[in-house]
């Protein structure tokens, strides 16, 4: 567990198995991430509630991407448990993990689009694998998903033929293909111009509001953090643990931890 004094503006991590109502989409309990004996982050505890746009933030090299990979089943934690919709992800076998994560989508840092397929084929492949849709129907759905991210008419373009920002949005479209309840985005705004970045932020908010989906976003782009995030965890590269959880705007103005205020005020001692 994180030391009580280090966690500012945060509530106690809730129990992963509440007695009433649906369990929270994600609960991280005493998680330590490590590469062999090299600890990246230790004693992480936070909860992502339904409909949250939850930001995992922190300075470069603090292990944000490593932590999110434990949430979408790509890297096991060295210690601790991750609950997805109440089920302990890393206590399942490979098939069980796939079942637990069936209702989630991932957008990788570089988009991760399959370069030998067109955008419609990228989305169609997923649809055809998990539904009974015919190729023509899958293409119709792919067209809708691309329209949702503002890429109407780009169905037959290859990822290499569109810009980085478009690739990122196409990645979101592919992640949306099976109407997931949870979306994980690893540095979605990295390398994007301010306008593309803003468009992506608006898209995330719109999708949350219309689909009721839950978003977990790794980023250190402050404009994005304050625009989209309603809850967050701040990871510290120095102490290798979380130093705050809560609404980013609240943390910026009220956190008692100077490192948190400094990070959220672009290096100015708040």
Partner 1 sequence: MPAHVTTSWRDRVEAQPSDDGCLLKLKGVWKLSDGLISPSEVLSGDPVLKGAGHVTVDGTEIESWDSALVCFLVDFKKAGDAAGRRIDFSALPDGAQRLVKLALAVPEREGAKQSGGTSAGFVETLGKQTLEAWKGAGEMMGFLGETVIALGQVLRGKARFRKSDILLVFDECGPKALPIVTLISFLVGMILAFVGLVQLEQFGADIYVANLVAIAMVREMGGMMTGIIMAGRTGAAFAAQLGTMQVNDEIAAFRTFSIPPIGFLVLPRMLALIIAVPLLTCYANVVGMLGGSAVTGAMSDVSLLQYYVQTVGSADLVDWASGLFKASVYGVIIAVAGCMRGIQSGKNAAAVGQAATSAVVLAIVMIILAEAVLTILYQIMGI
Distant-in-sequence contacts of 250-257, Cβ < 8 A, 24+ apart: 250/9, 251/8, 251/9, 252/226, 254/9, 255/8, 255/9, 256/8, 256/9, 257/6, 257/8
What's the closest the beta carbon of residue 54 comes to partner 1, in angstroms? 20
| Cα–Cα dist 119/139, whole Å | 10
Alpha carbon of residue 55 to chain centroid: 7
Q: Residue 51 burial (CB < 10 Å; 0-12/13-18/19+)?
A: middle
| Cα–Cα dist 257/236, whole Å | 11
Q: Which of residues 143-172 bind partner 1 (CB under 8 A)?
A: 144-145, 147-148, 150-160
| Cα–Cα dist 63/89, whole Å | 20
Among the listed residues 12, 98, 115, 265, the single contact to partner 1 using CB under 8 A: 115
What's the closest the beta carbon of residue 212 comes to partner 1, in angstroms? 7
Answer yes or no whether residue 129 interacts with partner 1 by CB under 8 A.
no
Among the listed residues 137, 198, 237, 252, the single contact to partner 1 using CB under 8 A: 137
The mark string for 167-206 relative to partner 1 (x by CB under 8 A, - otherwise) is ---------x-xx-----------------------x--x
Scanning 49-57, 100-108, 189-197, 209-217 for contacts with partner 1 by CB under 8 A, the matching segment is 209-217
Binding site for partner 1 (CB under 8 A): 115-116, 118, 120, 127, 131-134, 136-137, 140-141, 144-145, 147-148, 150-160, 176, 178-179, 203, 206-207, 209-212
């Amino acid at each position: 567990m994180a030391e009580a004094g280090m966690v500012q503006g945060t509530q106690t991590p809730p129990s992963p198995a509440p007695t009433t109502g649906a369990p929270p989409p994600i609960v991280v309990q005493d998680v330590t991430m490590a590469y062999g004996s090299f600890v990246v982050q230790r004693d992480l505890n936070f909860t992502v509630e339904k409909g949250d746009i939850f930001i995992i933030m922190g300075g470069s090299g603090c292990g944000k991407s490593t932590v999110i990979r434990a949430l979408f089943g790509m890297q096991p934690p060295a210690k601790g448990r991750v609950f997805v919709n109440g089920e302990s992800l890393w206590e399942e076998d490979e098939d069980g993990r796939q079942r637990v994560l069936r209702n989630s989508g991932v957008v990788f840092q570089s988009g991760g689009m399959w370069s030998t397929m067109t955008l419609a084929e990228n989305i169609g492949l997923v649809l055809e694998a998990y539904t009974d849709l015919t190729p023509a129907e899958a293409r119709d759905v792919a067209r809708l998903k691309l329209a949702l991210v503002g890429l109407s008419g780009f169905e037959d373009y290859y990822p290499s033929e569109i810009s980085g920002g478009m690739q990122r949005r196409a990645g979101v479209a592919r992640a949306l293909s099976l109407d997931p309840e949870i979306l994980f985005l690893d540095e979605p705004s990295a390398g994007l111009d301010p306008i593309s970045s803003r468009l992506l932020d608006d898209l995330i908010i719109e999708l949350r509001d219309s689909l009721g989906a839950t978003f977990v976003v790794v980023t250190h782009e402050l404009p994005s953090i304050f625009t989209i995030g309603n809850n967050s965890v701040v990871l510290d590269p120095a102490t290798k643990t979380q130093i705050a959880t809560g609404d980013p705007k609240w943390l910026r103005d009220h956190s008692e931890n100077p490192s948190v205020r400094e990070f959220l005020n672009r290096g100015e001692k708040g």
